[in-house]
Amino acid sequence: MGGVTLNKHIAFLIGLTAIIFCMPSYGAYGARYENERMQVKWVCNPYNKVCHRVYRTNNWYSPYGRYSERKTYRKKQVAKNTEPKFAFMAPPEKIESSNIINVNLAHGTWGAYDGEGKLVNSGKVSGGKSFCPDINKKCKTVTGTFTIYDKKGGDCKSKIFPVNKGGAPMPYCMFFHEGFALHGSNAVPNYNASHGCVRMSPADAKWLNQNFVTVGSTRVNVTYDKTKPPEKEVLSETEKQ
């Protein structure tokens, strides 16, 4: 009878040992759990302002019985643009002023005029919008006529934006009033979208910076006026006499 009991105990211990060896260790589960921990990231489209909150794992089979895969769980709609789109109008070929860059933030254009008031180059711009939620105040570009007092190269960066971080690229920046500047940007929509600076294509900013602007003498005239600047009247030889 004692031998039978002993055999039962031995069989029980053998079975228990087999179960323990077959079970994955806590360390293995812990490592898998660490590998499977969800990563959360906002992915935003800079043009339509729609953002998706994306959850992603490394596609392990979860110890909790769930197979996790990349999936968008929640969609966040960022406030849509409320700024009016530009009523495009090409800059005039000749004006009364000279050695000046005319920036029209109602038409979304810039035009550079030489010493004789002739248009030598032009392009598209996007200036300050009416209100910026991240700084909770109006952020239109300052208007008036100013003289460019400083310029920097392709490594120019913002000291303020993004808010509390700084470092936003402002290639070939040209400062004309306090922190307001003309600069290159990869985001130049057909409406005003900045915190106050005047954005233009990096190629346009580089041309102005290196081929047109002289610090201390080149002027910038900024307006939100929808009317076209008056063209300089060109007199014929007969009229001059």
DSSP string, 153-207: -TT-B-SSTTTTT---B-TT-EEEETTEEEEE-S---SB--BSSSEEE-HHHHHH
How would you classify the pairing of strands 144-147 and 71-77?
Answer: unpaired
- The answer to whether 201 touches 82, Cβ cutoff 8 Å, is no
Per-residue pLDDT tens over the stretch 25-68: 545 444 444 445 566 666 666 545 566 666 555 544 444 444 44
Domains, the chain, ordered by start: 34-80 (no CATH), 100-223 (2.40.440.10)
Per-residue pLDDT tens over the stretch 156-165: 999 999 888 8
pLDDT at 17 over 90: no
Query: Where is average pLDDT lowest: 76-85, 106-115, 185-194?
Result: 76-85
Query: Where is average pLDDT lowest: 74-78, 86-90, 96-100?
Result: 74-78
Query: Where is average pLDDT lowest: 30-44, 96-110, 197-211?
Result: 30-44
Residue 162 makes CB contacts below 8 A (sequence gap 6+) with 168
Neighbouring C-beta atoms of residue 122, cutoff 10 Å: 18
